[in-house]
Structure 1
Amino acid sequence: MRPLEYKTKVGEEILSFLESKKDTAVSVMDICDEMERRNVKSNITTIYRQLDKLVTAKKVIVHSAKDGKKGLYQYIAGEEECLSHLHIQCTGCAKIIHLDCGESKEFTDHISHEHGIILDFSKTVIYGLCEKCAKKQAV
């Protein structure tokens, strides 16, 4: 028998925020700011603890920021396919683009078969500019 999941106000608010930003990777500081805006009493340790639980439960995946110095969190609950394809993160707006097309599958299969590398899609991110941000830069 599995123990009941212990839910807290902070945990529910974090999950709610991540769900509302599911196509964007958010930092712990983004979450802290949102908790403050929502008047939810919390601290950074509690937020990290809640995020660890969400990652373990496969409701959230964590990517490294483009500078590699911090984690960015993305809500994926109910979308297990996120664990089987590549993602592109826009370096302008942090939007996440799902690469679940045939060409990316062909590429990842090549990496596996020809180079013996099994990718961890929950941690593999390609960085670039989305179409909207690229247009802004061109102006």
Structure 2
Amino acid sequence: MKKAEYQTRQRRQLIDYMKSTGGKHFTASDVVHYCKEQELGIGMTTVYRQLDKLVSEGLVRKYLIDEKTAACFEYLGDQSESCREHYHLKCESCGRLMHLDCQMIDAFVEHILDHHGFAINPARTTFFGLCQECRSRAESCAAD
């Protein structure tokens, strides 16, 4: 991972926001909204430029889930490489993106590698379906 040689005030403010997300995903629009809310004077162009730099430096991971959804980002900071690799669950109803850390999936991925010679990339693997809240809501509507 490369370190940035020069830390601008804007870059520090953006990184502070990203750290505050606690590992949750955010979009460029979320960052812009935060900057406006906090009156930081950081515009959309600067946010996109800084996100691109942070992605290339390995401090932020960019996820492209599908062609309909805006890219989302996750601040990685100084996490170990093992903490960085995880799968995702994407709710097709509410759009929520969740981390999936599961030994059963790890065993499945190992099986795919051992028996099929294919290495799955966890950073680019997303399982689509319905989250518990959306399933519960759908079930209660069906019962009415």
The TM-score with structure 2 as length reference comes to 0.73
After superposition, the CA RMSD in angstroms is: 2.7
CA distance in 1, matches of 2:22, 2:80: 11
How many residues align? The count is: 137
More divergent stretch after superposition (44-53 vs 3-12)? 3-12
Equivalences for residues 91-130 of structure 1 within 5 A? 91=92, 92=94, 94-99=96-101, 101-130=102-131
Question: 1:39-61 CA distances to partner (integer Å, 9 max, x unpaired)?
Answer: 12223232122112222332221
The answer as to whether partners of 1:108 and 1:119 remain within 8 angstroms in 2 is yes
- Aligned residue number for residue 89 of structure 2: 88
Gaps of 5+ in 1: none
The answer as to whether partners of 1:86 and 1:98 remain within 8 angstroms in 2 is yes
| TM superposition shift of 1:37 | 0.8
Secondary structure of the structure 2 residue equivalent to 1:126: strand
- Aligned residue number for residue 56 of structure 1: 56
CA distance in 2, matches of 1:138, 1:16: 40
The TM-score with structure 1 as length reference comes to 0.75
Secondary structure of the structure 2 residue equivalent to 1:70: coil
CA distance in 2, matches of 1:104, 1:121: 10
Gaps of 5+ in 2: none
| TM superposition shift of 1:81 | 2.2
The answer as to whether partners of 2:86 and 2:99 remain within 8 angstroms in 1 is no
The amino acid of 1:94's aligned partner reads: R
The answer as to whether partners of 1:66 and 1:127 remain within 8 angstroms in 2 is no
The amino acid of 2:29's aligned partner reads: M
Larger radius of gyration: 2
- Aligned residue number for residue 35 of structure 2: 35
Q: Which has the higher contact order (CA 8 A, sep 6+)?
A: 1
Provide closer, same or farther for how the CA distance between residues 10 and 132 of structure 1 changes in structure 2, counting only shifts above 3 A. Answer: farther
The amino acid of 1:75's aligned partner reads: Y
